[in-house]
Chain A
Amino acid sequence: MTTVEEQLLPSKEPVRLIDQDGVLHDHSSYKLPAEQTLVDGYVELIKGRRINDQASALVRQGRLAVYPSSHGQEACQVAASMVLADGDWLFPTYRDTVSIVSRGVDPIETLTLLRGDWHSGYDPYERNVAPQSTPLATQLTHAVGVAHAARLKGEDTVVMALCGDGATSEGDFHEALNFAAVFQTPVVFFVQNNEYAISVPLSKQTIAPSIAHKGIGYGVPGERADGNDLAGLLAVLGQAVDKARAGEGPQLVEAHTYRVQAHTNADDATRYRQDDEVTPWLERDPIKRLEAYLNSAGLLSDDTKKRADETATQVAQYLRDGLMPEPGVDSEDLFRHLYAVPTPQLVEQAAFLRDELAREES
């Protein structure tokens, strides 16, 4: 018999079903996902890694303004989308490109923000993916609202709300967990703890035993998982989604992972951390370990390898083809979409710019 308090606290150690050598471990509360799920997940990981590396390359080639890579965090990215049903919602941040693409959003539309020809390039209602949030934690209360609306409408929607370790210091993180708890809204708050908020390490964000421990303060069950173990993440996040859908209220999941690259290409990580801190994390790579497990279990067929390789090659080619040409921009867009009906002042300003451009051309 566990007490209410114990039910809210996370596991003593992050849940890990497959260790970094690819060895399987039994867990009393979580089952290994189905073989096919792991195989599909493997393909998604390979694709996700390629998106990250291709996008970073496109920054170097001047085709993207910036790219906050989730290289090394792909297991979190892929798992967050894989556990959702079609009608569910994903609330991503700027580092969650791979998760958004995994959910089925067009990769070029996803990267519009970072290419810079508009803010959010995809239709949020097409795949139920909110615009990527750049301000930290502000999207979490939106997630609560979307989930609450779904409940009022009698829908069994679950909302997956993503944020990083730095964002847990923001007031909106607190407000979102508290609101979700009070209203018992079906939100899974998924914190990718990658140890860094740009240059500031986790130890300067919080001295709590873990981020998952913060759940108990709100009456929200917290759980933590090895963020580089896709199997463990699918099990933990899947169970959190099931609980939220079953009416058990919001869930908090923390993934322990690591930002192996700099914050973005514009950042210099050598100013705040040593290489010997990064090296062990390279050994914990999410792809390596799943590959090792699938190989040892005889689940990695040549067909799967080929499918993974082709999927990755295709998405990279798609990104290059889509992002190499200079995007067309329309100055009229500046004034569209501020209001359903533009104000007289905006109509005037649009005319002013149109006139100015016409004079420049003549």
Chain B
Amino acid sequence: MTHVKLTMAQALNQALRDAMKADDSVLMFGEDVGPLGGVFRITDGLTAEFGEDRCFDTPLAESGIVGMAVGLAMNGMRPVVEMQFDAFGYPAFEQIVSHVAKMRNRTRGRVALPMVIRMPYAGGIGGVEHHCDSSESYYAHTPGLTVVAPSTVADAYTLLRRAIEWPDPVVFMEPKKLYWAKEEVDLTEDVPGIGKAVVRREGADATLIAYGPSVPIAMEAAEVAAAEGRQLTVVDLRSVVPFDDETVCAAVRRTGRAVVVAEASGFASVSSEIVARVTERCFHSLAAPVRRVTGFDIPYPPPKLEKYQLPGVDRILDAVDDLQWEDS
């Protein structure tokens, strides 16, 4: 057992380092990921340790970064690219949707693209515009992509390792505001892989379904609810695609009530998909319509206003209170 205290940023850095040690074909590149170590220092020290062929800066062009990764993956490499910020990934959208996601399908499985697009995402860091988008729904909507969003330090390490080993392209959504969250972890510990949700907390009364940056908020809400006498289950999706219907539905059936918590705008989103899936599959187990606590359908607000946008404990508890505990 090797317990260490790490931030999520350090765990991601360790995952990259260990992956690059384990496999010479793993390359890390993007904007400022070289000597600087990335604006969030996720790639800190990698160029020094592995050299400029393995971890390198590129010209400032996201479509080019992802397009180059496609070619590298076609020719035997396992590229990991960083998009620096969620909203800076949009120039690469055509590459991601038309090529990254479709290559295996277009070629009848002859060309696979094992690659990871690391996407520091979401808000809660006081960032100015274009730095705080929750863009996961765009990728989750695109067949062919695998979309992962860790919420714990241990998961950040293990899921990134798994993503790099994954035979298909992974959009790896890193919750920026959790980069500095510290946990005591054992990196050698086996945790469930991509495609498996986990129950972070058991409670009989209702289920909170969350992923990425919303999981700690859901856990906090469950803690407060318990103090007030209501026991909540918290399901952490970990990967949005593949979606773990089994774990989510089992929790909802046990509790009969559910609230989905997500930072992204709710309209036509991952959160609306979860509500649809749960309703289609668990209707007879539900004592109340599934509620959502999401961002409003607005562009991500400026720093001084983001507190109104982010799902918080009170808003989650209000939604739980609203789950028709008794007939009105």
Contact = CB atoms under 8 A, between A and B. Distances in A.
Interface of A: 118-120, 123-125, 130-131, 135, 138, 140-150, 152-153, 171-172, 175-176, 178-179, 182, 333, 336-341, 343-345
A345 B246 CA distance: 11
A249 to B, nearest CB: 15
B68 A152 contact: no
Given A138-B99, A179-B59, A343-B241, A153 B71 contact: no
A178 to B, nearest CB: 5
A142 B68 CA distance: 5
A340 B71 contact: no
A138 B72 contact: no
Contact of A120 (B64, B66, B107): B107
Contact of B67 (A150, A175, A336, A341): A175
Contact of A339 (B64, B67, B73, B168): B168
B179 to A, nearest CB: 28
Interface in B38-65: 53, 58-59, 61, 63-64
Contacts of B167: 339-341
Contact of A145 (B73, B98, B111, B112): B73
Contact of B109 (A144, A150, A179, A337): A337
Contacts of A125: 110-111
Contacts of A176: 64, 67
Contacts, number: 138
**A interface SS class:** helix
A210 B110 CA distance: 38
Contact of A150 (B58, B70, B75): B75
A131 B108 CA distance: 11
Q: Which of B61, B98, B241 has the most CB of A within 10 A?
A: B61
B71 A149 contact: yes
Contacts of B111: 124-125, 131
Given A144-B71, A152-B77, A172-B63, A179 B108 contact: no
B58 A179 contact: yes
B163 to A, nearest CB: 13
B95 interface: yes
Given A142-B74, A145-B70, A150-B75, A338 B105 contact: yes
Interface string B90-105: 0100110011001111
Given A118-B108, A123-B110, A171-B63, A148 B242 contact: no
A336 B104 CA distance: 9
B64 A138 contact: no
A343 B67 contact: no
A345 B66 CA distance: 27
B75 A124 contact: no
B76 interface: yes
A153 B27 CA distance: 13
28 contacts: A119-B107, A120-B106, A124-B107, A124-B111, A125-B111, A135-B99, A138-B67, A138-B98, A141-B68, A141-B70, A141-B95, A145-B68, A148-B68, A148-B71, A149-B75, A171-B63, A172-B67, A178-B64, A182-B58, A333-B108, A337-B104, A337-B107, A337-B108, A338-B143, A339-B104, A340-B104, A340-B167, A344-B243
B104 A145 contact: no
B146 interface: yes
Interface size class of B (residues with CB under 8 A): 35 or more
Interface of B: 27, 53, 58-59, 61, 63-64, 66-77, 79, 91, 94-95, 98-99, 102-112, 143-144, 146, 167-168, 195, 241-243, 245-246
A179 B68 contact: yes
A150 B74 CA distance: 11
B63 A175 contact: yes
Contact of B144 (A140, A148, A339): A339
B266 to A, nearest CB: 21
A145 B59 contact: no
A182 B64 CA distance: 12
B105 A135 contact: no
Contacts of A145: 67-75, 77, 79
Nearest to A171: B63
A182 B59 contact: yes
Given A178-B59, A178-B64, A338 B76 contact: no
B293 to A, nearest CB: 25
B237 to A, nearest CB: 13
A105 B63 CA distance: 29
B64 A179 contact: yes
A274 B105 CA distance: 42
Nearest to A89: B75
B195 A143 contact: no
Contact of B105 (A119, A143, A150): A119
B109 A149 contact: no
Contacts of B246: 344
The 4 residue pairs across chains A and B that have the minimum distance between CB atoms: A145-B71, A141-B67, A175-B64, A149-B75
